[in-house]
Structure 1
Amino acid sequence: MAVKVRLEKDGFVKDGFVGFSWTSLFFNVWVPAFRLNFDGFIIFCIISLIETILPIFIMITIIHTQNIDNLSSIPILQFSFYIVNFIVGFWYNRYYTQKMLKDGWKLLENDDYSSAILKGYRYLDYTESEIADQEKMQRYTEFLAEAKRKERNKLIFFLLFFVLIICLAIFF
């Protein structure tokens, strides 16, 4: 889960997200579907289609040419798709939230937390009055530090879990 910010447009309030998208790493095409993001859904569908069809095509070609020694390249290809999914996890929340901002979604009035997060992650620029207000900048810094600490903890937990799974796979 990424850092959630609240955005408003025409009286409707919707969540924007910043940081790494753990949900898109694990649930791929379902994330833009549930967020009602058609463009993201199409992009994820194309990525999923390539990840599904390319290894099957390569395997059929290898079997058809009877060059069975090259089957060892399939796991390497599938591992590269995991790397692609990891990169998409970094990209998707930025894409989704920036698209919302371009489509006219604005910060909620007096929502310092969302303002601090979006400005700290460089989605929006600080205003002159914010820069001059040291107390507000201090609050923004605290909000941002807390959000980044939570994101770092999620990453550490994921890496520990990943290492544990690998160790279990090796020893059993």
Structure 2
Amino acid sequence: MTAWIIAIAIVFLPLVFGILLLGPQTKIRVSHSESGLSKSGYVGFSWTYYFFGFFVPVFRGEIPIAFFHLVLSILTLGFFQLVMSFLYNKQYTIRLLTNGWELNDTDEKKRLALRSLEKKPH
């Protein structure tokens, strides 16, 4: 019984620590000014990456990045996946914003995104 409690604590401790440190994963609507397309960016701890690893970039359409993450996760025996749980949402959203996407959500969510991405509002 004690071994199960310890195992569960080991699995969920990074999740709790990540949410306390970075906040929960929050969806931020972004739109592309030229094409008119919209999609979701994310800020906060990526619990989806924590549990599903390189599949998250696959589902978000970042196939080359997913392959790179798979290779690094294998080489580091999963440690890379733990580290990327803290970094992936921020990196993904910054990639969107540097490729012509713009925040297109409520003012509160825009402020949250800018604060999380450490950018100054215009």
Q: TM-score, normalised by structure 1?
A: 0.51
Q: Deviation of residue 85 (structure 1)?
A: 2.3
Structure 2: which amino acid aligns with 1:112?
A: D
Q: Kindly provide the amino acid, as one letter, of the partner of residue 53 in structure 2.
A: N
2:107 corresponds, among 98, 112, 134, to 112
**What is the CA–CA distance in structure 1 between the aligned matches of 2:64 and 2:109, rounded to whole Å?**
24
Deviation at 1:38, TM superposition (A): 2.5
Structure 1 match to 2:56: 31
**For residues 72 and 31 of structure 2, what CA distance do their matches in structure 1 show?**
30
Q: Is the 8 A contact 1:4 1:18 kept in 2?
A: yes
TM-score, length of structure 2 as denominator length = 0.69
Residue 43 of structure 2 is aligned to residue 18 of structure 1: yes
| Identity between Structure 1 and Structure 2 (%) | 29
Once the 2 structures are TM-superposed, how far is the Cα of residue 87 of structure 1 from its aligned partner?
A: 1.2
- 2 CA distance for matches of 1:49 and 1:122? 28
Provide, for residues 4-60 of structure 1, a one-character-per-residue CA deviation record: whole Å limited to 9, x for no partner.
Answer: 100001211100010111111110111000000124212212123314xxxxxxxxx
- Letter in structure 2 aligned against 1:119: L
Take 2:106 and 2:118, find their aligned partners in 1: how far apart are those partners? 15
Bigger fraction of residues in helix:
1
- Aligned counterparts, 1:65-84, within 5 A: 81-82=78-79, 84=80
- C-alpha deviation, 1:123, in angstroms: 4.3
Provide the residue aligned with 1:40 in structure 2.
65
1:7 aligns with 2:30: yes
The aligned amino acid for 2:94 is Q
Alignment check: 8 A CA contact 2:94 2:117 kept? no
Contact 2:47/2:85, CA 8 A, preserved across alignment = yes
Alignment counterpart, residue 87 of structure 1, candidates 83, 88, 101: 83
Q: RMSD of the alignment, in Å? A: 1.9
Distance 1:93 1:24 in 2: 9
Q: Whose radius of gyration is greater, 1 or 2?
A: 1
Asked if structure 1 preserves the Cα contact closer than 8 Å seen for 2:57 and 2:65, the reply is yes
Deviations 1:72-111 (A, max 9, x none): xxxxxx5xx44x3221101111111100000010022x63
Q: Runs of 4+ in structure 1 displaced over 6 angstroms?
A: none
Paired residue type of 2:81: N
